[in-house]
Amino acid sequence: MIRRLKNKLFATLCITTLTLGAAAAPSAFNSVHAASAAQTKTVYVDVEKNVLGQAPILQPVKVTLSDTNTIADATKQAVGDGNVNIVSSQYGSYITGFKDATDNQDAFKDYLFTNNLKKLTKGIVFRKDLPHQPIVTDVNYLSEKECDGISGWMFTVNNELNHDSTYYNGSTALDNVPDGAVIRWEFTAAMGADMGLNSAYLPTQVTSDGYYNWATTKLVDPFFTRADKTTLIAKMANHANKTDTAYTNALTQLETLQAKQKNVDAAAGAL
């Protein structure tokens, strides 16, 4: 699918950072917010791929920059220049991948929700014969569409996809996020359902010219109950000793896809 069209799906259909396909609606990270008076803003950023059963690409860090900068700017500062692919679209800045040399397609063989996703989409998102919905291989980045045709990056701000009914996106200015906000990037193979988000409109049919038919999408329930890790992430970023028991236990909870809220809260409380 074409990136421009993919960017359209997640603003309406994803209702956190996915580009999905050709005839789609706008992305959850791709609507634009205006910047206001320049003041500094501190936010926390991490980059996770828990759906692949792997450690974070970026453990939680704190960054401070002007609030005229954007979520994409904060993310770039957190991971470092050259470690994230950011592209421009008519809907704002869009992140297609984070630098990562791991064999993620091999890890995807152990994806917990393969059978569920095949059933919900009638298997079309795993097809490799669709000319406009390719499944890609990127040896240097974990990129969108690398595991199935709807996989990609989503993010939440303080565990929310939107504020005041407006969806966050890469071009959202930091003056539109709270000071101390947690920007949590997560890789998804099911448009957020495999992250516990109520955001997944999954395609079920293919058009005659080889695109997902987004007119046939269905909103599916989250695959599990999501734990809010906002406090945990902020405390991890501020914790001085990244090797002590408290931090190690917190990292375990961060990496646990289906973590229980009580365990997350206990780990955060120990930091």
For 110-164, write each residue's pLDDT tens digit. 999 999 999 999 999 999 999 899 999 899 999 999 999 999 999 999 999 988 8
Conformation bin of residue 29: beta by default, left when phi > 0, alpha when psi is -120 to 50: alpha
Give the separation between CA 46 and CA 268, rounded to whole angstroms.
Answer: 16
- Residue 248, amino acid: T
Give the separation between CA 111 and CA 50, rounded to whole angstroms.
Answer: 10
What are the residues facing 54 on neighbouring strands? none
pLDDT of 61-118, one tens digit each?
Answer: 999 999 999 999 999 999 999 999 999 888 788 899 999 999 998 999 999 999 999 9
- Residue 62, amino acid: K
Q: Is the pLDDT of residue 60 over 90?
A: yes
Give the separation between CA 52 and CA 152, rounded to whole angstroms.
Answer: 12
- Confidence (pLDDT) at 68: 96
Give the separation between CA 151 and CA 18, rounded to whole angstroms.
Answer: 7
Shared-domain flag, residues 172 and 264: no
Give the separation between CA 117 and CA 139, rounded to whole angstroms.
Answer: 25
- Confidence (pLDDT) at 83: 98
- Confidence (pLDDT) at 186: 98
Tokens of residue 126, six digits = 């795993």
Query: In terms of C-beta density within 10 A (0-12 exposed, 13-18 middle, 19 or more buried), how is residue 24 classed?
Result: buried
| Residue of 139, 127, 107, 76 lying closest to 257 (CA atoms) | 107
Q: Which residue has the tokens 């009914």?
A: 165
Tokens of residue 178, six digits = 């709270």
Shared-domain flag, residues 47 and 130: yes
Lowest mean pLDDT among 25-34, 199-208, 237-246: 25-34
- How many domains does the chain divide into? 2
Contacts of 160 (CB under 8 A, 6+ apart): 168
Where does the pLDDT of residue 38 fall: very low under 50, low under 70, confident under 90, or very high at 90 and above?
A: low
pLDDT of 210-263, one tens digit each?
Answer: 999 999 999 999 999 999 999 999 999 999 999 999 999 999 999 999 999 999
- Confidence (pLDDT) at 166: 81
Shared-domain flag, residues 265 and 151: no
pLDDT of 162-198, one tens digit each?
Answer: 888 788 999 999 999 999 999 999 999 999 999 999 9
- Find out whether 123 and 114 touch, Cβ atoms under 8 Å: no
CATH number, residue 107: 2.170.130.30
Shared-domain flag, residues 166 and 270: no
Shared-domain flag, residues 135 and 183: yes
Give the separation between CA 116 and CA 114, rounded to whole angstroms.
Answer: 5
- Confidence (pLDDT) at 25: 38
Shared-domain flag, residues 172 and 267: no
Tokens of residue 25, six digits = 């609606």
Shared-domain flag, residues 130 and 17: yes
Shared-domain flag, residues 202 and 252: no
Shared-domain flag, residues 271 and 158: no
Where does the pLDDT of residue 46 fall: very low under 50, low under 70, confident under 90, or very high at 90 and above?
A: very high
Q: Which residue has the tokens 């401070």?
A: 64
- Confidence (pLDDT) at 91: 76
Where does the pLDDT of residue 268 fall: very low under 50, low under 70, confident under 90, or very high at 90 and above?
A: very high
Shared-domain flag, residues 195 and 216: yes
Element (H, E) at 10: helix 3-12
Q: How many other CB atoms sit within 10 Å of the CB of residue 144?
A: 27
- Find out whether 94 and 29 touch, Cβ atoms under 8 Å: yes
Tokens of residue 33, six digits = 């917010």
Q: Is the pLDDT of residue 8 over 50?
A: no
Give the separation between CA 112 and CA 89, rounded to whole angstroms.
Answer: 32
Q: Is the pLDDT of residue 17 over 60?
A: no
Q: In which domain, by residue range, is 271 found? A: 227-271
Shared-domain flag, residues 164 and 205: yes
Residue, of 61 and 21, whose pLDDT is higher: 61
Q: Is the pLDDT of residue 4 over 90?
A: no
Q: Is the pLDDT of residue 32 over 50?
A: no
Shared-domain flag, residues 120 and 148: yes
